[in-house]
Amino acid sequence: MDIFVNRDTLFAAVSRAALVTDATSLLHALGNVQLTAAGRALRLSATDLYMSSDESVEAEVAEPGAIALPANELLDILARVPSGPVQLTGGDAVRVHPVGQIGRAHV
């Protein structure tokens, strides 16, 4: 997966998805948000088995893919990244790179 997306747009979408997740569940997947990159969109999906969240944000997708990440960890990382475009790359783990700036974070 390799995508470029606006940090503020992504942060808002992950924030809404995190409201649905259940980080204390014995099923660890319920604390995750699934990111699916395809076409010109990044789709974010989350559930706690009672409620669900499904949202798409505009993104430039260089390489399509999908991954499930802990919602709260992703939020913490995005909160530290400055506003502007960010690049998300990776397969089993995702790297968040602020575009045009020095720094990166791993989820």
> Which residue in the block uniquely carries the two structure tokens 């506003």?
83
pTM (predicted TM-score): 0.86
Q: How does pLDDT run across 1-30, given as a tens digit for each residue?
A: 999 999 999 999 999 999 999 878 778 888
> Which residue in the block uniquely carries the two structure tokens 């990159």?
37
Q: How many of the other CB atoms lie within 10 Å of CB of 31?
A: 20
- Helices and strands in the chain: count of H runs, count of E runs: 2, 9
- Rounded to an integer, the average pLDDT of 75-99 is 87
DSSP lists the bridge partners of residue 38 as 41
| pLDDT for position 91 | 76
Yes or no: say if 11 and 74 are a contact pair by the CB < 8 Å rule: no
CA dist., res. 24 & res. 1, Å (int): 28
Q: How does pLDDT run across 28-82, given as a tens digit for each residue?
A: 888 999 999 999 999 999 998 899 999 999 999 999 999 999 999 999 999 999 9
- Rounded to an integer, the average pLDDT of 102-107 is 49
The pLDDT-based confidence of 100 (bands split at 50, 70, 90) is: low
